[in-house]
Each structure stands twice: as C-alpha cells, then as structure tokens.
Amino acid sequence: MACIFCALDEEAKVIQSKHFFAVWDIDPIQQGHLLVIAKEHRMALAELSVEEGMDLLAFQKELIGQFELEKGVLGVTLATNNGALMDSGTHFHSHLIPRYDHDGFWEQLQLEAVAFDKAGFVKRLKQSSEAQK
C-alpha cells in the first residue's frame, strides 16, 4: 500500500519546518488536532537523524506554544505513532491535540462542543514562524 503521507499535496500542509510538516487530522479527537509528519518516509523515531530529531522538537514546541495562546486551550496532548503500531499506508508522525476544560477527551461526541478558529490559528502561526527567520 502506498503511503498516504508521502502523497499529500502542498495545499494540505498547514505549515512546514525543514524536515516536517503539519496537517489537520482528518478524524480529529479534538478541535485543532494536528499531525506532525516527517517529510522523508521514516517508520520510527530511531530512524531520524539528530538534525531531524532537533527539528521535530523545535517544530512541536512552536506549535504547542501557538496552541497555548488560543482561547480555551489549557494544554496539548502529544502522542507519537512509531514503528509497527501504525496504520498501513502511513509513516512516523506525531499528534498534537489541544485540550480544553471538560473536553471529553477521546469522546468523539464532544468534538463539536469546542470552537476552534483554524484560519486565525494558521495566520498567527505563519506570522510567528516568519518572525523567527
């Protein structure tokens, strides 16, 4: 099976670092749920170079910092899909899941209870990213 992450087009990518890109999860656990995906097809964290690992950490830190500026976001759950546990047709990636008070985490029925301004988030994220260059 072909890797769906390797086949993503540029329009799907919210923002990118040198070695990773972020996309909105197609089946989100919470509003604002992002995936951070390696640009190169890697199956496990152990396959990343030191440079890629440092870029991953810096990129996740930037995204989490932006999430925590959003109204109602109390923190972010970070989960990494690594190795054989992943769905076929994917590769190494992390989930960044914003958390809200009484968010019913993992309960899909609660997803609509929280408003999240994706467009505003992306605009601020890109402005912040440009300011750091």
Q: Which is catalytic among the residues 19, 33, 91, 93? A: 93
Per-residue pLDDT of the chain (133 residues; tens, 9 = 90+): 688 888 999 999 999 999 999 999 999 988 999 999 999 998 889 999 999 999 999 999 999 999 999 889 999 999 998 877 667 778 889 999 999 988 877 665 555 666 788 899 999 888 988 877 6
Q: Are 98 and 11 in contact (CB under 8 A)?
A: no
Does 102 participate in catalysis according to the annotation?
no
pLDDT of residue 116: 82
Q: Are 85 and 103 in contact (CB under 8 A)?
A: no
**CA-to-CA distance for 70 and 117, rounded, in angstroms?**
9
Using one digit for the tens of pLDDT, what is the confidence trace for 99-115? 998 887 766 555 566 67
Supply the Cα-derived Rg of the chain in whole angstroms. 15
Among 3.30.1180.20, 3.40.50.1000, 3.30.428.10, 2.40.240.10, what is the CATH number of 4-131? 3.30.428.10
